[in-house]
């Protein structure tokens, strides 16, 4: 027990002692925390290292890029035609054709292949003073993203070029620079740098630079030349051939630093500073397709780093048709030379015959003074793929890249005005009025002073939309613009890939604004290609801003594939994408008009440059100043556009015949081996014989019948009323009445014109029907016993007609009502039974006119006891056909974006077989406007909300037609 008690006592004493020393416990805890911290730091470091080295390119990447003989960057990037056979451009300065891969120091197998030591020393002085001492990197530049050593520059430019600047990227760069230096050595780093550094545009490698600037190899550079090349490498965008003083100052600074560093002696430095460097003249080379090549690089830059492409190692297979490009180039040069009266080229770029030359039509008006500086552009594309087959760019000194350039469009964009009209209920047969309309009249948009193809000062009155479209009738175009609305046209253009005016109010926009809108030839050809492809846009997405507006759509493409010299495929655009833009039916209506050769004859004559011996849809345009002319058109397999213009802006020197002739030659040549194809008529299209130019159904007196093309369900339902028959008193020239003697009445057919066309009709000598009745022959004094009181003489009536009046008098026996058709009825039809009770200012009878239309005479006959009779005649116009109303704008379920001052155009197309009385506009059942004369268009000031618009048309007989729809205005 004593032992046990002693043990317990000992433990208690030890515990008390431990309690008196707490620092021992703290020490244990601290040790544990430090161990955990070290473990955490180690773990974090491990994770950081794993993240830093994840997907780190192999050390041998630089060797695969730069080491001969198979380094991928040792071959310049080349652009090929679509067959991959013909080189159309090499991305290398032509003066560098003799360049070689040069070696440094002990790596050199022979002195003739060793780069100048002056260049090695100058490069070290300027870029990496501690090159021979550091492990491949230095810490300077870690935070400002600079690359402080040659090894780091190589890694940054060629290996990690796809990574965004960051601390992580800098650390990866340093890690790789260290590994590459350790594995390959400093001399190899220098060698790779000098053979890949940029010394100007498309000049990579010291030997290439030496040949371009000095006409010698970099093995034979003087100190002054080596220092100059090094200065150029510091600022590659500066062209030394322009004599920049900055380069000279930098060269001198490099030489002085080399002297300080002991790399050259005083004599060498002094001689170098005094040396007058002679630069080689630039080597000019003629390219087959500079505009096309420029577009290729621009489109390529949206999906691949273009700087990497320019360094070399790629083969770009383009969409260019080599043979077609040759012909487009030579034909455009020859057409230009013919117009300017200068010597014509004899053959093509490669010496072959210019076959397209034989297809150029004879130029008329060749004796006129030619333009001083005429330029031409041509674009040929495949509408089904969106691939550009040929392109000739504008040849303007100092303008590179020369394409795509934008020019005033003239009427080349008018198809999209009329296409918008088709989408809003019009048809090629729709009646338009080509009239001179005064600015500010409030009835139409103002007219520009001069437009393409229209005869100056000439207007054509009532014309079909088809004729107005193809002949650029300016007054009719203004009416179409007014009915459709400019914002709807801009929306259509945008859908077709045409850049539309930004942040422009639609207020006050007229044809002059539209026809001065600028567009590139490439954009116009792409837009027309959608029509050629039945409303489907073809091309590639995500190309970016390349002159073809791909916003919310596709772009025509100049590229098929991009492959590396190692056969790796970097890009494949051989399969086009497609995007529906407009319905095949609407596209067909537009194509049907553009391909109507006969319709063009009033302005282009026959034959003309747009006729190629097969179905082709085409349009020409001449701007108001006559210094820009266009011809754009298509067949189902090809779209071609030509622009010609005077770059000096001289007026009146260009004609539409000039580009049309070149278009004619290129379309005939390009389609020569293609089967002749008609434009396919999609389902949903109908053809109806109509009266021209009203576009309504043929009447017995219609003077001209044509085949109209319509969307199914949109065919006309009314008989033509533009031409009407009138009975005229030949003596007075007024409308005959039933009281005019029959031998004094002539039956004449007149073109009935609206009030706004009367001045035009008088100016052109067009006979106008009289609007007043002839009262020189009056009826006998009306008897109070035999008369009509309702309806009145010359009223328009319909349906069930109740007659009131008087039928009585002395010796009354009975009365009857009878009617006859026409002014002088050949037969009479009795209404009801004879009535043997006299009537005094009361009900006489009822006539059911259902199914009848036209002029009728109603006769009241009162028979006396002695069989004598008295007559009262009433001349009426029976009209049981209601007006035909269609709302052109807005469309049902349209959504408009609200902005202050927003105006929504409400537009109705109304026809009637007789005479319209009025058209009423309602918004949410509130009457907002009543119009008595066409055009039936009102502006409505928009506010956010949902609305119902109702439009009702009434004729003089009381018939009516109502249409309504809903739309919304959103913020």
Asked if residue 569 is part of any domain, the answer here is no
Instruction: Supply φ then ψ for residue 649, to 5 degrees.
Output: 75, 15
- The verdict on whether omega for the bond into residue 594 sits within 30 degrees of 0, i.e. cis, is no
Q: Which domain-ending residue is among 826, 858, 879?
A: 879
- Predicted confidence at residue 225, as pLDDT, reads 95
Start-to-end Cα distance in the chain:
99
CB atoms within 10 A of CB 798: 21
Q: 871 pLDDT exceeds 60?
A: yes
Q: 803 pLDDT exceeds 60?
A: yes
- Tell me the DSSP string of 641-685: EEEEEETT--TT---THHHHHHHHHHHHHHTTTSPP-PPP--TTE
Predicted TM-score of the model (pTM): 0.82
Distance CA 700, CA 846 (A): 31
- Predicted confidence at residue 351, as pLDDT, reads 82
540-561 confidence digits (pLDDT tens)? 987 765 544 445 579 999 999 9
- Predicted confidence at residue 514, as pLDDT, reads 79
Distance CA 442, CA 460 (A): 21
107 shares its domain with 189: yes
700-718 confidence digits (pLDDT tens)? 999 999 999 999 988 998 8
pLDDT, averaged across the chain: 86
- Predicted confidence at residue 781, as pLDDT, reads 62
118 shares its domain with 227: yes
pLDDT bucket at 493, cuts 50 / 70 / 90: very high
Asked if residue 660 is part of any domain, the answer here is no
Q: Which domain-ending residue is among 839, 854, 879?
A: 879
3-state SS class at 590: helix
- Predicted confidence at residue 12, as pLDDT, reads 57
Picking from 94, 83, 595, 638, the residue whose alpha carbon sits closest to that of residue 315 is: 83
- Predicted confidence at residue 403, as pLDDT, reads 58
Whats the size of the chain, residue-wise? 971
CATH number at residue 812: 2.60.40.10
Distance CA 941, CA 278 (A): 72
Using an 8 Å Cβ cutoff, are 295 and 381 in contact? no
Distance CA 595, CA 678 (A): 10
Distance CA 103, CA 112 (A): 10
CB atoms within 10 A of CB 793: 13
DSSP annotation of 694: T
866 shares its domain with 795: yes
875 shares its domain with 889: no
- Predicted confidence at residue 20, as pLDDT, reads 53
- Predicted confidence at residue 445, as pLDDT, reads 35
755 shares its domain with 810: no
Distance CA 476, CA 511 (A): 11
Distance CA 233, CA 218 (A): 14
Using an 8 Å Cβ cutoff, are 883 and 908 in contact? no
- Predicted confidence at residue 945, as pLDDT, reads 92
Most confident of 203-217, 234-248, 384-398, 453-467: 203-217
Q: 605 pLDDT exceeds 60?
A: yes
* Partners of 815 in the β-ladder: 835, 862
Asked if residue 30 is part of any domain, the answer here is yes
Using an 8 Å Cβ cutoff, are 642 and 377 in contact? yes
Distance CA 67, CA 196 (A): 11
Q: 901 pLDDT exceeds 90?
A: no
pLDDT bucket at 92, cuts 50 / 70 / 90: very high
Over residues 81-109, the mean pLDDT reads 88
Angle between the N-to-C axes of helices 117-127 and 223-234, in degrees from 0 to 180, rounded to the nearest 10: 40
Q: 904 pLDDT exceeds 80?
A: yes
- Predicted confidence at residue 452, as pLDDT, reads 36
Give me the domain span that covers residue 114: 94-274
- Predicted confidence at residue 145, as pLDDT, reads 56
- Tell me the DSSP string of 835-851: E-S-EEEEEEEEEE-TT
583-592 CB burial, b ≥16 within 10 A, e <16: bbbbbbbbbb
CB atoms within 10 A of CB 526: 31
3-state SS class at 519: strand
HEC assignment per residue over 888-912: EECCCCEEEECCCCCEEEEEEEEEC
Q: Which domain-ending residue is among 208, 242, 274?
A: 274
Using an 8 Å Cβ cutoff, are 389 and 667 in contact? no
Picking from 407, 612, 410, the residue whose alpha carbon sits closest to that of residue 522 is: 407
149 shares its domain with 237: yes
Distance CA 17, CA 243 (A): 91
Count structural domains, the chain.
5
Percentage of residues in the chain having pLDDT higher than 90: 56
* Partners of 918 in the β-ladder: 954
857 shares its domain with 889: no
Asked if residue 365 is part of any domain, the answer here is no
458-471 confidence digits (pLDDT tens)? 899 999 999 999 99
921-930 CB burial, b ≥16 within 10 A, e <16: bbbeeeeebe
Distance CA 948, CA 893 (A): 10
Using an 8 Å Cβ cutoff, are 710 and 689 in contact? no
The CA-atom distances, in angstroms, between 15 and each of 10, 23, 182 are 9, 14, 62
119 shares its domain with 192: yes
CATH number at residue 116: 1.10.3810.10
- Tell me the DSSP string of 366-410: TTSPPPSSEEEEEEEEETTTTEEEEEE----TT-SS--S-EEE-G
Q: Which residues contact 190 (CB under 8 A, 6 or more apart)?
A: 104, 105, 120, 123, 124, 131, 150
108 shares its domain with 256: yes
Higher confidence at residue 474 or residue 781?
474
CB atoms within 10 A of CB 401: 15
- Predicted confidence at residue 456, as pLDDT, reads 40
Asked if residue 932 is part of any domain, the answer here is yes
Using an 8 Å Cβ cutoff, are 457 and 473 in contact? no
Higher confidence at residue 550 or residue 501?
501
Distance CA 387, CA 539 (A): 7
Distance CA 413, CA 451 (A): 13
CB atoms within 10 A of CB 937: 22
Instruction: Supply φ then ψ for residue 453, to 5 degrees.
Output: 70, -25
Distance CA 758, CA 634 (A): 40
Higher confidence at residue 544 or residue 603?
603
Q: 780 pLDDT exceeds 80?
A: no
Higher confidence at residue 282 or residue 526?
526
Asked if residue 903 is part of any domain, the answer here is yes
Asked if residue 333 is part of any domain, the answer here is no
Summary count for the chain: helices (H), strands (E): 24, 36
User: Which of 9-23, 230-244, 396-410, 755-769 comes out lowest in average pLDDT?
Assistant: 9-23
Distance CA 607, CA 83 (A): 37
850 shares its domain with 900: no
- Predicted confidence at residue 612, as pLDDT, reads 96
804 shares its domain with 757: no
852 shares its domain with 896: no
Distance CA 745, CA 728 (A): 5
Angle between the N-to-C axes of helices 186-194 and 167-184, in degrees from 0 to 180, rounded to the nearest 10: 110
Asked if residue 203 is part of any domain, the answer here is yes
421-449 confidence digits (pLDDT tens)? 999 889 999 999 999 865 433 333 333 33
Distance CA 139, CA 128 (A): 13
Distance CA 10, CA 757 (A): 130
Q: 685 pLDDT exceeds 70?
A: yes
Distance CA 361, CA 336 (A): 13
């Amino acid at each position: 027990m004593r032992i046990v008690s002693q043990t317990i006592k000992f433990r208690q004493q030890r515990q008390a002692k431990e309690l008196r020393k707490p620092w021992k416990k703290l020490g244990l805890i601290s040790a544990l925390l430090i161990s955990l911290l070290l473990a955490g730091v180690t773990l974090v470091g491990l994770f950081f290292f794993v993240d830093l080295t994840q997907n780190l390119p192999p050390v041998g990447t630089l060797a695969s890029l730069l080491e001969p003989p198979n380094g991928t960057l040792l071959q310049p990037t080349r652009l090929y035609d679509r067959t991959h056979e013909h080189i159309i451009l090499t991305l290398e300065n032509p003066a560098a054709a003799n360049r070689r891969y040069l070696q440094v120091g002990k790596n050199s197998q022979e002195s003739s292949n060793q780069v100048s030591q002056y260049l090695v020393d100058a490069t070290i002085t300027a870029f990496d003073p501690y090159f021979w001492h550091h492990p491949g990197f230095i810490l300077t530049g870690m935070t400002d993203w600079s690359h402080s050593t040659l090894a780091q520059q190589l890694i940054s430019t060629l290996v990690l070029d796809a990574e965004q600047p960051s601390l992580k990227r800098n650390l990866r760069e340093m890690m790789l620079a260290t590994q590459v230096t350790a594995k390959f050595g400093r001399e190899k780093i220098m060698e790779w740098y000098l053979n890949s550094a940029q010394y100007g545009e498309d000049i990579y490698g010291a030997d290439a630079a030496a040949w371009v600037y000095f006409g010698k190899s970099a093995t034979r550079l003087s100190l002054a030349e080596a220092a100059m090349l090094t200065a150029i490498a510091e600022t590659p965008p500066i062209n030394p051939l322009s004599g920049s003083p900055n380069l000279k100052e930098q060269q001198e600074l490099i030489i002085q630093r080399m002297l300080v560093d002991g790399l050259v002696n005083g004599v060498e430095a002094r001689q170098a500073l005094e040396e007058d460097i002679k630069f080689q003249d630039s080597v000019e080379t003629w390219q087959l397709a500079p505009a096309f090549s420029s577009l290729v690089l621009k489109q390529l830059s949206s999906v691949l780093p273009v700087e990497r492409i320019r360094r070399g190692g790629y083969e770009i297979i383009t969409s260019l048709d080599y043979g077609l490009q040759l012909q487009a180039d030579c034909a455009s040069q020859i057409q230009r030379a013919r117009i300017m009266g200068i010597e014509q080229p004899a053959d093509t770029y490669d010496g072959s015959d210019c076959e397209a030359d034989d297809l150029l039509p004879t130029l008329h008006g060749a004796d006129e003074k030619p333009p001083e500086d005429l330029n031409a552009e041509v674009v040929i594309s495949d509408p089904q793929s969106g691939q550009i087959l040929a392109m000739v760019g504008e040849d303007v000194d100092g303008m590179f890249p020369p394409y795509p350039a934008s020019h005033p469009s003239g009427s080349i964009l008018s198809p999209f005005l009329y296409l918008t009209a088709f989408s809003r209920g019009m048809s090629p047969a729709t009646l338009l009025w080509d009239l001179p309309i005064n600015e500010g009249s409030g009835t139409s948009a103002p007219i520009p002073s001069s437009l393409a193809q229209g005869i100056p000062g000439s207007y054509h009155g009532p014309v079909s939309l088809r004729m107005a479209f193809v002949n650029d009738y300016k007054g009719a175009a203004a009416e179409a613009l007014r009915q459709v609305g400019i914002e709807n046209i801009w929306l259509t253009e945008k859908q077709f890939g045409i850049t539309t005016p930004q942040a422009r109010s639609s207020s006050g926009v007229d044809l002059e604004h539209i026809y001065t809108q600028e567009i590139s030839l490439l954009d116009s050809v792409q837009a027309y290609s959608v029509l050629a492809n039945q409303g489907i846009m073809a091309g590639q997405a995500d190309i970016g801003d390349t002159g073809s507006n791909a916003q919310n759509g596709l772009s025509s493409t100049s590229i098929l594939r991009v492959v590396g010299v190692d056969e790796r495929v970097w890009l494949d655009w051989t399969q086009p994408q497609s995007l529906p833009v407009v319905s095949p039916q609407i596209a067909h209506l537009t194509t049907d008009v553009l391909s109507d050769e006969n319709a063009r004859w009033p302005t282009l004559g026959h034959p003309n440059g747009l006729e190629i011996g097969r179905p082709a849809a085409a349009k020409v345009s001449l701007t108001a100043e006559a210094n820009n002319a266009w011809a754009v058109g298509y067949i189902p397999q090809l779209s071609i556009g030509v622009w010609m213009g005077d770059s000096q802006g001289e007026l009146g020197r260009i004609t539409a015949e000039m580009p049309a002739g070149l278009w004619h030659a290129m379309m005939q040549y390009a389609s020569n081996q293609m089967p002749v194809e008609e434009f396919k008529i999609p389902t949903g299209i109908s053809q109806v014989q109509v009266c021209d130019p009203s576009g309504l159904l043929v009447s017995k007196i219609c003077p001209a019948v044509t085949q109209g093309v319509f969307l199914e369900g949109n065919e006309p339902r009314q008989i033509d009323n533009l031409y009407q028959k009138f009975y005229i008193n030949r003596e007075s020239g007024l409308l005959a009445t039933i009281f005019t003697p029959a031998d004094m009445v002539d039956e004449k057919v007149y073109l009935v014109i609206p009030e706004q066309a009367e001045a035009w009709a008088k100016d052109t000598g067009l006979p106008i029907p009289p609007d007043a009745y002839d009262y020189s022959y009056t009826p006998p004094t009306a008897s109070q016993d035999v008369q009509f009181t309702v309806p009145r003489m010359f009223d328009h009536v319909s349906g069930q007609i109740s007659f009131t009046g008087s039928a009585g008098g002395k010796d009354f026996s009975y009365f009857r009502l009878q009617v006859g058709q026409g002014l002088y009825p050949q037969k009479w039809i009795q209404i009801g039974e004879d009535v043997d009770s006299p009537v005094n200012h009361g009900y006489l009878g009822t006539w059911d006119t259902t199914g009848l239309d036209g002029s009728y005479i109603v006769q009241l006959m009162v028979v006396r006891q002695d069989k004598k009779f008295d007559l009262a005649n009433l001349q009426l116009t029976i009209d049981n056909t209601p007006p035909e109303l269609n709302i052109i704008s807005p469309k049902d379920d349209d959504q408009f974006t609200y902005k202050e001052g927003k105006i929504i155009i409400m537009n109705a197309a109304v026809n009637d077989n007789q005479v319209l009385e009025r058209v009423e506009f309602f918004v949410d059942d509130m009457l907002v406007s009543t119009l008595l004369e066409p055009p039936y268009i009102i502006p409505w000031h928009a506010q956010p909300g949902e609305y119902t618009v109702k439009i009702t048309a009434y004729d003089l007989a009381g018939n009516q037609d109502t249409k309504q729809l809903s739309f919304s205005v959103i913020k």
